[in-house]
Structure 1
Amino acid sequence: MKINTKEDIINYFQSGYKKSLLIGVENEKFLLEKDTSKRANYEQIKNILNYLKKFGWEEILEDKNIIGLNKDGQSITLEPGNQIELAGALCNNIHEVCSESYNFQKQLDEACKKFNLKTLSIGYDPTTDIADVPNNPKKRYKVMTREMPKNGELSLEMMYQTCGTQINLDYTSEQDFIKKFKVISYLTPLTIALFSNSAIKKSKPTGFLSYRSKVWQNTSRGGLPKVFLENMDFEKYADFSLDFKLLFLHDNNEYISPIGKSFRDLMEEGKANYENFQLHLSTIFTEVRLKKYIELRSIDACEWDCHCAGPAFFIGLLYGNLNETFEIIKNWNKEDILKAYTTSYKDGLKTIINNKDLLFWSKELLNISKRGLENRSFVTTKNNDERIYLKNIENILSKNLTKAEQVLADLQK
């Protein structure tokens, strides 16, 4: 179906309105050889994917190559350097999100044990040189590997060396979207600092707490555009996406790069449709992103002790207590946010916004999140609500010690 006007795109975003707010979480992790800690190659990855089929997963093929699995609204996909990602099903609460991740990890651990591999959940590969990272035959990655470095010097490191957690959030109306998008954008520096977990590269400290964020800020098509700090509505995002250059188009089972063209050019040529628009949206690598839901994309991957903390924190803020959260950030200065964005990956919770450091704001927002999760009242049979998943953040803030800082402290012992 063709896209003929900007109004078609606005209508597309409006079609994302939800009556019930659900949660989708995507987690990436590295697979390594158990004995050597070398990154798993594609043949080893194929063994893992084929083994996982015993749990009811069905294969996703590109030509004759297995590139992923799906089951019950969940999908397992491969990133360019064979990082493995679980894109979860739509869940009602964090208990379901965490259970889903636990079940997948249990299956993955069994498969890894069978093939002498192990998993590592961290924001940046701490040991492997990028020249030694294996790839896989997914066609879109060949185009990305060729094109991405042209406009971002660390683009290949983003593709092959990083892992993150993404939270997908619903909106009920355009006004609801505007508030949530603004909150997520304004809190991006805090998100980077609080969940920093990538201080090491080639077994040495990088000088940054979230080197992953440093990489993403020097990646083609990424960043935190200044327009995101305004009251972003559907028309503004439609214009933003229309004028964003195309990375590739999918045609006859191949990915073709239309150099220099924007989606607006494609629309004016009468070649725009919803299939290539959805593909285009997925190649905008900004810290926050809109599809028919909002994507929060600035959290470093981490191990099980903090795996559910980020999703719980933001669900408390954005679903449980949006208005109170919005009151906190609404008068923050945009230039403060942009400056903090470029320093929070190094200065962490010491970063200043609105004359207070991010340690202060994190504590304030943690309390708001707690009240939000309590208001949601999703309780287990053991009488635990979603606040139970905030313990990791409580520990970070009580000790003023992020995951990255703990890793650096352990190195010095």
Structure 2
Amino acid sequence: MNRAETGESKETGPLKILFIDPHSAFVTWGSGLVQEGCNWEIVRNDDQRVALELLRQTAFDAVIVGAISSFEREIGILKQVSQIKPKVARILLSPPLSSTKLAKALDVVHRTIFQGASIEEIIASVEQTVLVTRQLYRDKVVRSFGAFRQLPSSPSIYRELSNALSSERTNTRDIAIIVERDPALAVRIIRLVNSSYFGLNRTISSLTEALTLLGVRTVRGLALSGHLNAHYPDDSGWKLFSFDRMNQRALSVARLAQEIATPFAKNNPALKDQAFLAGLLLDVGMLMLAAEQGEGYLKVLRFAARKKQPLHLVERMAYGVTHAELGAYLLDMWNLSPQVVEAVMMHHNPEESVGQTFNALCAVHIADALLPTIDNELGVDLSATLSEEYIERMDVKAHMPTWKMAANAYRIRMRDSERSESA
């Protein structure tokens, strides 16, 4: 997306970066960036309290925290950054992290940069992070979001499950006790495990066994999805497409995205969880617009059908924002992983991202583009259009035949599920 499309003026001047170096280990960091002609203004400080006070008083585009050994301390600093200035890009510069630490970091930071990264990788990572945060918090998005009357609150069960996941002592039975307090979620889990998606040759009735089969992180995503389903029910008066069918398709997108991400998750196990969650919540902004805008949103869809234009471009002409941006803003308010928020926001235009590292955005964009859209009487394609430019840049074209075969299997499951419901 370019500046002309957002209707905003081009940012001027260098990026302003606050570099917090609590161990005084990166005194010369950034000199190589300057030598490469990087247009950044870097303010370095090794006193945490002074740096955070400076953050309160000064406008920065990004905060980078250098980590050496005290991982918890550096993550704690970035948590404070998120509370002081939530709109500022948060980046951790550290040695390579274990999978556990990386998953924990990615719940707080927008990006991690590992020591030894090339100048090009550092520049791409920081500039992509700033690009995303600017887009997410641009005035038009904030004002449009504020106009919604009945926004869903962050579900308490999601927070409980997240807290349980962060404890090394939690087991499946502990998770089952939390889930049992939400009967609707428990029923949905049992129903999913026994659906055609799993094709088991026996019926599962034990919640604990179902949780083991699904995986706890998947269940946490289902808790969010179920909360949204309850807030935007199918009987809301919207008739162009079924909310229930949209949610069922979202599950297929989520599972396919998770499958696509699997080969790339060896050094980043959190990637599979991010891909699943982003796929599951990809079009929450569309539900928001359909439920609240009603007839106005129907006109937008009719215009898109008549002019054969992508829906997200027509949304931008009509509202100044897209359903992807609105959904991402909601998920950011719920403190979901920045990688999930970014994937939701950019799944229609991933070519506007920066960098070449496979991430959740890549997984959900491909999954959404490969699966059929949901039926609607106007014939509008509500899914993403595969960006060949992006596929080339991410160097994943060789994987496409395999992913298309996997998508076809999910297509058959979607068709079988619809037939069993109508029978």
TM-score, length basis structure 2: 0.28
Largest Rg, 1 or 2: 2
Which is helix-richer, 1 or 2?
2
Which is strand-richer, 1 or 2?
1
TM-score, length basis structure 1: 0.28
